[in-house]
Each structure stands twice: as C-alpha cells, then as structure tokens.
A and B are shown apart, each in its own frame.
Chain A
Amino acid sequence: MQQRIRVILFLLIIIWVFGIFIEFFIPLQNNLAYLFPFFEGIYSTVCHQQLEKLININGYQTLVCSRCAGIYLGGLLSSFILLFAFKINFKNGKLILAASIPMLVDVLLYSSGFYDYTKSIAFVTGLFFGFIGIAYIYNGLQILLVRNGKSE
C-alpha cells in the first residue's frame, strides 16, 4: 500500500482519537466547547457511553467507554507502526479471531457476574483487538488496491 495512503489513514485515525479526548483539550482551546455536543452525538452512535465505563482523568472524561477507547488507541498505535512497515501479509483470519477472544471472554464473564467490570481489563482487551484489527483493515485495503491496480 502506498505510503501516502498510510499517512492519510494515520491522520484520519488521529482525528478520530482526538475527538474521543475532546474534553481534555477544551480548557486549552475554549472554542472546542461548541463542538462538544456534536462530537458527543457522533460517538454516541458507536458507543453506549455509560458513565461508569468512561475513562476519567482529573475530572475529564473520554466520549467512549474504556473498551472502545482501547480499540481506537490500539488502532492508532498499529497504524503508526504500519507507517514504517512495507507490506502486511495475513493469509487468513485466525489472528483477528484470536485477538477478539480476550474481549469476548471479558464481556461474557463480567456480564454473567463472575467478576465486576474493570476499566483496565476492558481497555487492554480492546487495545489488543484494535491493534490487530487495523492491521487486517490495512491488509484488506492493500489487496483491494493491488486488484484495482491490476484491473486498470
């Protein structure tokens, strides 16, 4: 995949992740407060935003739950590393299925009352899934672009 496309994707993911942490930037740039309700609306379509599951630092909260924040930060980290990788080559979907297992097990266990919801576990399992997930998206885009290049 072309480096230009990787950089564009990385920048788009940065913007998306920035939105999650908008509350933290409002004290630095007051006008961001106008965007706050709009961002809250955007992220409400992709996350339940339950108060007790949001990451809270110094009174400022993320706009998505710990697990979603983990997924997106994992994606950001992965997309940063992939800026320097030349080619990804996943031959099958086993790794992404494996990466989703810790997250699914956590959801199942805390939902069935084996233990209480923990933000750190949710965050870490999300981070792992997001890290692998974005690599698969890049892999898919790489295949798509190669095919399109051949057909032209």
Chain B
Amino acid sequence: MENLNKKYISPLVVGLGAGVLTIVPVIKSLGCCLLIPVAAFIALMLEQKANNDFSKLAIKKGVIFGLITGLTAAIFGTTFDFIITLITHTNDLVVSFPQMVETINSFPIKEATRDEVISLLSDVVESIKSYGFSPLYTLSFLFNNLFTNSIFGMLGGIIGVQILNTRNAKK
C-alpha cells in the first residue's frame, strides 16, 4: 500500500492543487479547459524528477496518471466548492441565475417548458441561499467534475507522455 501511495503521490498532490485552482476565479479563467491536462502533464514531470528516471514513458502511464490527477482534482474541487457554498450560501450558480433565467426566457419555446425549467432551477438556487446546500446541485457538480476532469486528465496524460519523451530523448 505504501509503495502504491509513493507510486501515485505526484498525481495525487498535483490533483489536489488543480482541485483548489478550479475554484479560484481568476486562475480558473486563465487555465480554462487546459488546467487539468496541464496538471496531468506536471504530475508526470514531477514523478520523473522525483525518481530521477527519465526513461521513455509508456502511454498507459500517462493515461493512469491523467485519470488519477483528474479524479483527485474533481473530488477536492467538489469538496472545496461544497464547503465554501455551505459557509457563504452562494456560488457560481446563484450568481449566474438571473442571467440564466434571462437566457431561458429568450428561447422561443413553449411557455410550460420554460416555466418548468426555471422553477427547477429556482428551487435549487433557493435551497442554496437558505441552507447553503442543494443535493441536486452537489450531485450534478460532482458528476460533472468526475466526468470532465477524468477525460481531460487522460487526454493531458496522453499528450504529456509524448512531449516528455521528446524532451527526454534530447537529454
């Protein structure tokens, strides 16, 4: 178990860092969709530096490291967002709610559909404002993060291995 922890320490640490960065507004907008792929790349790079082993990396390792980085970032990102929402009773959804309602109102759709979608959203927003928590929001946020971060992490790992192998071949 200790060996396993050591083996995957870099994606876990970088994943934690990326999880924190995904909720910091300015960094989040700078990193955009490249934050998690870059994190996976850094995890691979750190692992090589820590072990002083610059031999050719296998793509499989990139996929595994990317997946672990993405999943760790998703779990920590969701946890931090959950805690902050619980304390402040507000989050991105609450802030963007008026804009979202405006957007939905602009859709040329049936009145009943529009009312239903807005009512569903306002229930979630009201729950967050009152209790700092909405089960539907938390679950969908966790699912979104797990889904996108794991995929983007793996993609970053696949590309990262190819970049690192080029760099190491020069050394």
A residues lining the B interface (CB < 8 Å):
23, 26-27, 30-31, 33-34, 36-38, 40-42, 44-48, 50-51, 59, 61, 64-65, 67-68, 71, 90, 92-94, 96-97, 107, 111, 133, 136-137, 139-141, 143-144, 147-148
What is the interface size of chain B, counting residues whose CB is below 8 A from a CB of the partner? 48
Q: B36 to chain A: which residues have CB within 8 Å? A: 46
> What are 6 pairs between A and B in contact, CB < 8 Å?
A27-B109, A30-B109, A31-B113, A37-B121, A45-B148, A59-B106
- Quick check: A92 and B169 within 8 Å, CB to CB? yes
- Given known pairs A96-B159, A147-B59, the reply for A36 and B28 (CB within 8 Å) is no
Q: B162 to chain A: which residues have CB within 8 Å? A: 90, 92-93, 96, 136, 139-140
Q: A137 to chain B: which residues have CB within 8 Å? A: 155, 158-159
How far is it, in angstroms, between the C-alpha of A49 and the C-alpha of B165 when the chains are bound?
Answer: 34
- Quick check: B163 and A96 within 8 Å, CB to CB? yes
Quick one: closest A residue to B158, CB to CB? Answer: A140
Is B152 an interface residue, CB under 8 A from the partner?
Answer: yes
Q: B29 to chain A: which residues have CB within 8 Å? A: 48, 50
Interface string of B11-30 (1 = CB under 8 A from A): 00000000000100000111
- Given known pairs A33-B104, A137-B159, the reply for A144 and B113 (CB within 8 Å) is no
Besides A68-B32, A144-B59, 16 more A-B contacts (Cβ < 8 Å) are A30-B110, A33-B117, A37-B117, A41-B93, A42-B148, A45-B144, A46-B148, A46-B152, A48-B29, A92-B165, A92-B166, A93-B164, A137-B155, A139-B162, A140-B59, A143-B59
